[in-house]
Chains A and B, each alone.
Chain A
């Protein structure tokens, strides 16, 4: 076959691509026209955009260096030895109490001291203090907080970092320690976008003297990541399971729907709670990842299987046929042989979770049994098998015009990617830990995915049931399109609209639930820049220091509201009533 032969098809496919691009542009314009009719929707979009921008540029916007952020525990330092909370817009962010031991000074025979920053920890774990530039000397106290005459200590005129301590003070042996209170040149607060000389903390500081505003900025990253990851994973899993349920119907549908019933029987948050508790036994991402890949492989296996069948057996185009007794027997045999092993793997894995090997064993059993089951499910496998012309048909699958080829390739690639990821995780030092920083956060993410998919499964099942009866699906089926193709090319593209809305709303909902779980103490580590955790940390000082609770909560509400308004606007766009 020469390159020339396909020229017509190529130009045809190019034309189609152009057409679909034009259609997409038109659809988008129309959608935007409907969307912008609603003021609330536009506000929601702006809110989502603003919070996304903030999370992307958190490094540039934050007043304090993320080193002050407790996520990076190496560089924790306090604004002074006695960390204290400052109210929003109070200009106490750059005052510092410094204790000076007079006995030490007397021993060294020095009558002056430097203004020093709190002790910091350097990268090599050594401690160091910065010399601060004092802008104003406020007060002098003895060790019990009683104010002394402030002229007993004077600031050196040439060097704004040095205090002279008067002889009167040095000779007073009853005083062992004094406390200097001064304002200093706070580099951290001098940020490029703040007006010159602006040195108050916008949202106040927490009891460790950390700037709340910066923590909230960094918290947006955590929340958005959780929102997107969880919503995406739930959509994928829910869509796969729901479309299988809706498309194949019958017993499969019945079983899946009964499982979702169980999930709906327990309130989501309590279910997630119980699941997080169970997850505490697991300390890496291998198993969740494996489980996440499993449904993906299950669905993508359809074209893979059809390719194998088309190679093995001449003249078979459709992929799924009714199960016949012979095939049932074969499946039964596989189940009888593999299930005990699989079950053994499950229980072994549950009791000895520290041993990854058994999990891996269990996982591979599932994969193998699923493969075997799917392959044997087709009765023509045994009936029409023919070795004659095998190589020809095998070559035919490499034909670039063959639509199966791409699907098969995709399946193969995903499958092998899963295998490779899996084998990577074999090495204990090389565990697949995608979200290293938030090692406790992924547990609540998995829990939220686990509790979230049944909703999508039901939603997409209803859509599939509805679209399945439409004429174009029947037409596709009558020309012999395989199930996988009908599913991906005909049904799902026509069922995505409510899915998109649910997805957007779910991001908001996930952020809410995740912060709730963090609030309980199951998510982020104490002190982490996660909004739910910030609220929970602030609870100890509530209601006196209300800002520690108010602002992180406002951030959660703002983000969730943005996504909910966005989803509501999208609902109007995809609503069939608005199609003109």
Chain B
């Protein structure tokens, strides 16, 4: 099978799953006990429209198509999804697609950065653990692997805030060691409170106002949402007026990075634990293969055998976990985002549930499914490229 054919097949396989997910989100919205029409018209529900003689509630229901048969409603829903209309959020009073569009990069940035931290830790510990199999280090790192996945992520987030984000009077350890004031890392927000990054709803750019980051005209309005990227494109005029402490692109980038470290570390630690286990198992399996024995027989040094011959092959199955860990990180974001005051998908989803904002809930579920499926698709394709045997199946 050619690579292109393999990729197309994979994409076609996603279609029924996507349909299933839309059915699922639609069903959830049907079951949720809130009446979206009643939420939209609010106090004016009882008022009677003089032209039609119907109450506002009835008019809203008609406008939203709630009186139609369920099948028709579902078809409408699919049609609207396809045309980019994801409904209107009742909590934010904005289109759901905008809410999701602003929230998704926040979570994605955090999740990807989390994996960036988790992979080196997990793989290094896994390799060392396999090399020193059944020695003290191996036992410790296996324990760590289990401990990492056992920690409640919301609790870990707060404990990290306590230890690394507060002064010694509360319980932080940073100040006496590093001479910082009030901890090594900020514990709230994506950036310094003195700064404002534009988003989709307020893409205003006025360099005269202090603290607003501005992008050049060719840049997507409202930025990409990934502040690690956006910070490099803030215009010079905006930098002049933004804040004396953040007068260069690098300083803005650094500010975002510092804010990302604690949340990402929290999210990444569970991934690091499972990675460690898989890496260890995978490497141990590879070490029994013939080609490793051959490499040893050639008289290569042990480190070369492990790094060049064994690890390269052991890393291939690790690729599959990448897709799952992105899903895990997004799920974990639900629990950590509110603690770190990140307004990403997790926070939005929780708000949507508490306020029974069904269109946002549908949107978030759908977008996480899309992200998750896409990352798995990419991983699958990568796998097919790296290991051609997969394509033959």
B267 within 8 A of A: no
Which among A278, A520, A522, A557 is the interface contact of B32 at CB below 8 angstroms?
A278
What residues of chain B lie closer than 8 Å to A470, measured between beta carbons? none
Say if the beta carbon of B101 comes within 8 Å of chain A: no
Encode contact with B along A303-317: 1 for CB under 8 Å, 0 otherwise: 000000000000000
Instruction: Name the CB-closest residue of B to A520.
Output: B350
Report the Cα distance A67→B161, complex, angstroms. Answer: 34
CB-CB under 8 A from A532, the residues of chain B are 152, 154
Q: Pick the contact of A262 from B20, B32, B159, B364 — CB < 8 Å?
A: B20
Task: Looking at the assembled complex, report how far the CB atom of A447 sits from the nearest CB atom of chain B, in whole angstroms.
Answer: 11
Q: Is A508 an interface residue (CB 8 A)?
A: yes
Contact check, B151 vs A557: say whether CB atoms are below 8 A apart. yes
B137 in the interface, Cβ–Cβ < 8 Å? no
Contact in complex: A269, B331 (CB < 8 Å): yes
Measured CB to CB, the closest approach of chain B to A395, in angstroms, equals 49
Which B residues are in CB contact (< 8 Å) with A560?
150-152
Whether, in the assembled complex, B53 has its beta carbon less than 8 Å from a beta carbon of chain A, the answer is no
Between B17, B27, B149, B155, the greatest number of chain A beta carbons within 10 A of the residue's beta carbon is seen for: B155
Contact between B353 and A270 (Cβ–Cβ < 8 Å)? no
Contact with A along B148-186 (1 / 0, CB 8 A): 011111111011011001100011000000000000000
- State which of A516, A522, A536 has its C-beta within 8 Å of the C-beta of B353: A522
A266 near B353: Cβ-Cβ < 8 Å: no
Is B28 an interface residue, CB under 8 A from the partner?
yes
A40 partner residues in chain B, CB cutoff 8 A: 139, 142-143, 146
A182 at interface, CB cutoff 8 A: no
Contact B369 A561 (CB under 8 A): no
Output the nearest chain B residue to A343 by Cβ-Cβ distance.
Answer: B70
Residue contact A561 to B150, C-beta cutoff 8 Å: yes
A553 to B151, CA, bound (A): 8
Inter-chain contact B150/A508, CB cutoff 8 Å: yes
Residues B33 and A564 in contact, CB atoms below 8 Å apart: no
Indicate if B372 sits at the interface (CB-CB under 8 A): yes
Q: What are the interface flags for A258-273 relative to B under an 8 Å C-beta threshold, 1 for contact and 0 otherwise?
A: 1101100111111101
A278 and B31 alpha carbons, distance in the complex (Å): 5
Tell me the smallest distance from the CB of B368 to a CB of chain A, in Å: 5
Given A277-B353, A520-B350, A546-B171, residue A262 in contact with residue B24 (CB < 8 A)? yes
Interface residue? B334 (CB, 8 A): yes
Residues 532-563 of chain A, each 1 if its beta carbon lies under 8 Å from chain B, else 0: 10011001001110100110111011001100
Instruction: Report Cα–Cα, A516/B350, bound state, in Å.
Output: 12
User: Does A519 make an interface contact (CB < 8 A)?
Assistant: yes
- The answer to whether B154 touches A516, judged by C-beta atoms less than 8 angstroms apart, is yes
| Residue with the greatest number of chain A CB neighbours at <10 A, chosen from B30, B150, B330 | B150
How far is the CB of A286 from the nearest CB of chain B, in Å?
16
Inter-chain CB contacts under 8 Å: number: 158
Smallest Cβ-Cβ distance to A545: which chain B residue: B170
Chain A positions within 8 Å of B332 at CB level: 269
| B258 interface hit (Cβ, 8 Å) | no
Near B by CB (< 8 A), chain A positions 262-307 give: 262, 265-271, 273-281
The yes or no answer to A515 lying at the interface (CB within 8 A) is: yes
Within the assembled complex, what's the spacing in Å between the Cα atoms of A542 and B151?
19
Chain B residues in 8 Å Cβ range of A270: 330-331, 334, 349, 364-365, 368
Tell me what chain A mostly uses at the interface: helix, strand, loop, or mixed. helix
Complex contacts, B27 vs chain A, CB 8 Å:
278
Chain A: minimal CB distance from B217 (Å): 37
B33 near A353: Cβ-Cβ < 8 Å: yes
Q: Does A347 lie at the interface of the complex (its beta carbon under 8 Å from any beta carbon of B)? A: yes
A568 proximity list for chain B (CB < 8 A): 142, 146
Cross-chain contact A259 with B150 (CB below 8 angstroms): no
Docked CA distance A24–B335 (Å)? 44
Closest to B353 in A: A277
Contact residues, A91-136 vs B (CB, 8 A): none
State whether A273 and B349 are in contact (beta carbons under 8 Å apart), knowing that A553-B152, A557-B151, A564-B150 are contacts in the complex.
yes
Q: In the complex, A194→B267 CA distance in Å?
A: 40
- In the complex, what's the smallest C-beta–C-beta distance from B97 to chain A, in angstroms? 18
Taking CB atoms, residues of chain B closer than 8 Å to A508 are: 150
Contact (A266, B361) CB under 8 Å given A353-B33, A521-B354:
no
0 or 1 for each of A233-273: is its CB under 8 Å from B? (1 = yes): 00000000000000000000000001101100111111101
Kindly state whether residue B373 has any CB partner on chain A within 8 Å: yes
Query: Which B residues are CB-close (under 8 A) to A536?
Result: 154
Chain B residues with a Cβ under 8 A of chain A:
16-18, 20-21, 24-25, 27-28, 30-33, 70, 139, 142-143, 146-147, 149-156, 158-159, 161-162, 165-166, 170-171, 327-328, 330-332, 334-335, 338-339, 349-350, 352-354, 356, 361, 364-365, 368-369, 372-373
A269-B334, A276-B353, A561-B147 known, 16 other contacts, Cβ within 8 Å: A266-B365, A277-B353, A281-B32, A353-B31, A520-B353, A521-B350, A535-B158, A539-B339, A543-B158, A543-B161, A546-B171, A549-B162, A556-B155, A557-B155, A560-B151, A560-B152
The 4 closest A-B pairs by CB, nearest first: A553-B155, A267-B331, A262-B20, A269-B331
A-B residue pairs in contact (CB < 8 Å), sample of 24: A39-B139, A40-B143, A259-B20, A262-B20, A262-B21, A265-B20, A265-B21, A266-B368, A267-B331, A274-B353, A275-B28, A277-B356, A281-B31, A353-B33, A520-B334, A521-B354, A539-B158, A544-B170, A553-B154, A553-B155, A557-B151, A560-B152, A564-B146, A564-B150
Q: Please list the residues of chain A having a beta carbon within 8 angstroms of any beta carbon in chain B.
A: 39-40, 258-259, 261-262, 265-271, 273-281, 347, 350-351, 353, 508, 512, 515-516, 519-522, 532, 535-536, 539, 542-544, 546, 549-550, 552-554, 556-557, 560-561, 564-565, 568
